Amino acid sequence: MEMNGAASDYPPGRIMWQCVAGLFHHLIMNYAAYSTEDFLADESFQSFVIGHDATAGQFWRAWIVQNPARQPEFDEAVALLQLLATRQPQPLPEALKQEEAAKLRHAMHPPVAPRAQPVLRVGRHARRWASAVVAALALGFAGVRLWQHATPTAPTWTSYTTHTGEHREVTLPDGSRVTMNANSVLKLATTWQPGHVREVWLAGEAFFAVRHTAPAHLKAVATAPAGVKFVVHAGPLDVAVLGTQFNVLRRVGKTRVVLNTGQIQLRHRQAGRLDQVLLEPGELVEYNETAPQAALVKRMVRADFYSAWTSGQLQFDQTPVADIVALLKDSYGLDVALGNPALARQKLTGTVPNHDVDVLLNAVGKSLDVKVRRQGNRVWLE
Amino acid sequence: MTDERSAQLWEAFRDGDAHALSALFEIYYDALYHYGLKLTGDEELVKDCIQNLFQKLWRRREGLRAVQVVKAYLFKALRRHLGDETKLLRKHRHLLPTYIDSFEVIYSHEEFLIAQQVDAEQSAHLMAALNRLSKRQREALYLKFFDGFSYERIAEVMSLNTQSVRNLVFNALQTLRKVMVLALVLVLMLAK
């Protein structure tokens, strides 16, 4: 039926020519006789005009230079196909996709089935009373089961928010502790099913101390089952751990993860790739939206510097100035120029408050016996 | 996203990697959504069908085969899902008086680059010409020009043979060529 329907609005002679054109698609000599129709039907030519294929573009641009006699047909076919050049459709709202993705994840990892109910062992006298208890329990369970069944894909959410200048300590349903920095939002399902992946969503900055719920021998996060993992979703990054301490920063344009203890399995979800790295203590990974295609790269840092905001103090212990310069760049957005490159190798020891970057800079300057000059985001130590 | 990389994710998913299926979901969600919306015009239906499609893939992963072009496979599967759902809805049409019996692509000028450059009359002319094409011609054009599918993949998605698709697209372009003579002149002038 379909064949007939398609063929009926088609002159028979052309079908033959179409087949032949298909067979000799890649013979250049064949293109030399191309009519407008032939150009239109040619997939490589379509790709060239519509811009799906760079190789086709090169080929056809070179071809028309070699075959100027075909210019009118070529131009007409280009113009017609250009009429059909499409605009990139508006991307869908991120919230819609996130909600649908969460539904799918939920369906892929359903909550574990409730354990078999314990058998009640009772003496003869107590039996009648016990059966009443069993009945009541059964009703209770049925109620819970019904309630769970009624809302299988619509968990209720809890979110915690901090405002400017505010820090907040949050204890999660599994006993893990989160310290939230200012201007942050942490979101999670209100109840967590045992044996189900623990998930939170973060915007802003937070330090996580995650409880290890897996059996003690399970230490490698990469090979652990999903049910014992704890995952922080921060922008395009998924931070998966078993039981560790780490800092996650998610601000507009960038996402940064620094690991203090344990292990992190870090995944990058977007841009059509599955990029993942395993972090060891002291490693930092930063993702910048300006380079969404760049692979995730680790580097070693002083991890405690990046969580120093939780205590309000930076502790230097024979810390090279180079590390402090990196911190000033990462945490305060300051570009520090050293008048003398040898300064980078000097080491500092001591404690400074970290909430005021000028106090910090002055302390560094005094210790090194150099002048500190600051202009906006640029700092000179000379 | 290359076809090879998607095929690798597909393999990982068939091996039970839920993250791989989640990744495919994120990669193709927009394209599937827009295609579904083009066919049915019903956002809720499209959302439900995509969700059901992926959940079903997960449940049946062990029975699935390797695929060359994941995107085409997903488009075909969504098209079938939408077809089934639409049939059901049609049966109960008296319950849904506003439901439009469409399952067809309707074009609008916002979707085209050139329509922004020519005047409103020319643009309306082009849209009218596009929307006068047969249902299948419009769908084949959509898959070709919006999603960049080859004839072979369009054939897979629409369950036709490749030659039929070639004919559909070619005849559609010929029709447009006849109708759009004047607009073409304008485009040629713009191009110079």
Collapse the DSSP code of A351 into the 3-class scheme (helix H, G, I; strand E, B; otherwise coil) and give the result. Answer: strand
Are the beta carbons of B26 and A22 separated by less than 8 Å?
no
Q: How far is CA B29 from the centre of its chain?
A: 12
CATH of domain B3-95: 1.10.1740.10
By Cβ distance, the residue of B19, B160, B163 closest to A267 is B19
Which has the higher per-residue pLDDT, B128 or A9?
Answer: B128
Are the beta carbons of B25 and A104 separated by less than 8 Å?
yes
A226 close to A242: Cβ distance less than 8 angstroms: no
pLDDT for A221 equals: 87
The CB-side HSE value for A329 (13 A sphere, CA atoms) comes to 12
Between strands A335-338 and A378-381, the pairing is: parallel
pLDDT for B168 equals: 92
Helix and strand totals (H; E) in chain A: 12, 18
Q: What percent of chain A has pLDDT over 70?
A: 78
**Mean pLDDT value across residues A138-154:** 44
**Mean pLDDT value across residues B60-75:** 93
Quick one: which of B51, B58, B45, B74 has its CA closest to B149?
B74
A306 close to A314: Cβ distance less than 8 angstroms: no
Cα dist from B48 to A80, A94, B61, B78, whole Å = 37, 17, 20, 10
* Residues of B in Cβ contact (< 8 Å) with A9: 167, 171
**Token representation of residue A313:** 């103090």
Alpha helices in A119-195 (DSSP H): 127-150
Are the beta carbons of B112 and A85 separated by less than 8 Å?
yes
Report pTM. 0.50
CATH of domain B109-191: 1.10.10.10
By Cβ distance, the residue of B34, B110, B180 closest to A83 is B180
pLDDT for A244 equals: 92
At residue A180, what is the residue type? M
By Cβ distance, the residue of A75, A84, A100 closest to B188 is A75
Confidence of residue A3 (pLDDT cuts 50, 70, 90): very low
Domain regions of chain B by residue span: 3-95, 109-191
Length of chain B: 192
Rounded-to-integer distance, Cα B122 and Cα B113, Å: 13
A37 close to A10: Cβ distance less than 8 angstroms: no
Spatial CB neighbours of A249, under 8 Å, sequence gap ≥ 6: A204, A205, A234, A255, A256, A257, A306
Establish whether domains B3-95 and B109-191 are of one fold: no
Ordered domains of chain A (ranges, CATH): 2-83 (no CATH), 157-301 (2.60.120.1440), 312-381 (3.55.50.30)
Confidence of residue B129 (pLDDT cuts 50, 70, 90): confident
At residue B110, what is the residue type? E
**A109 touches B at CB < 8 Å:** yes
**Mean pLDDT value across residues B4-19:** 90
**A100 touches B at CB < 8 Å:** yes
* Residues of A in Cβ contact (< 8 Å) with B191: 75, 78-79, 82
At residue A308, what is the residue type? A
Cα dist from B56 to A79, A182, B21, B51, B60, whole Å = 43, 42, 11, 9, 6
Say if residue A151's pLDDT is above 60: no
A201 close to A240: Cβ distance less than 8 angstroms: no
Q: How many pairs of residues across A and B have Cβ atoms under 8 Å apart?
A: 145
By C-alpha distance, the chain B residue nearest A47 is: B148
* Residues of A in Cβ contact (< 8 Å) with B110: 87
At residue B13, what is the residue type? F
- Which residue carries 């409103």 as its tokens? B120
One DSSP character per residue, A100-123 reads HHHHHHHHHSPPPPPPPPPPP---
Are the beta carbons of B176 and A2 separated by less than 8 Å?
no
By Cβ distance, the residue of A2, A80, A104 closest to B164 is A2
pLDDT for A179 equals: 94
Say if residue A279's pLDDT is above 80: yes
pLDDT for B52 equals: 93
Rounded-to-integer distance, Cα B192 and Cα B172, Å: 26
In the beta sheet, which residues pair with residue A201?
A187, A233
**Mean pLDDT value across residues B179-188:** 64
Which has the higher per-residue pLDDT, A302 or A32?
Answer: A302
Which ipTM score applies to this complex? 0.83
> With a CB-CB cutoff of 8 Å, which residues 225-244 of chain A face chain B?
226
**Mean pLDDT value across residues B6-10:** 92
pLDDT for A142 equals: 45
B172 burial (CB, 10 Å; 0-12 / 13-18 / 19+) is: buried
* Residues of A in Cβ contact (< 8 Å) with B132: none
Neighbours of A241 (CB within 10 A): 25
**Mean pLDDT value across residues A16-35:** 52
**Mean pLDDT value across residues A179-186:** 87
* Residues of A in Cβ contact (< 8 Å) with B37: none
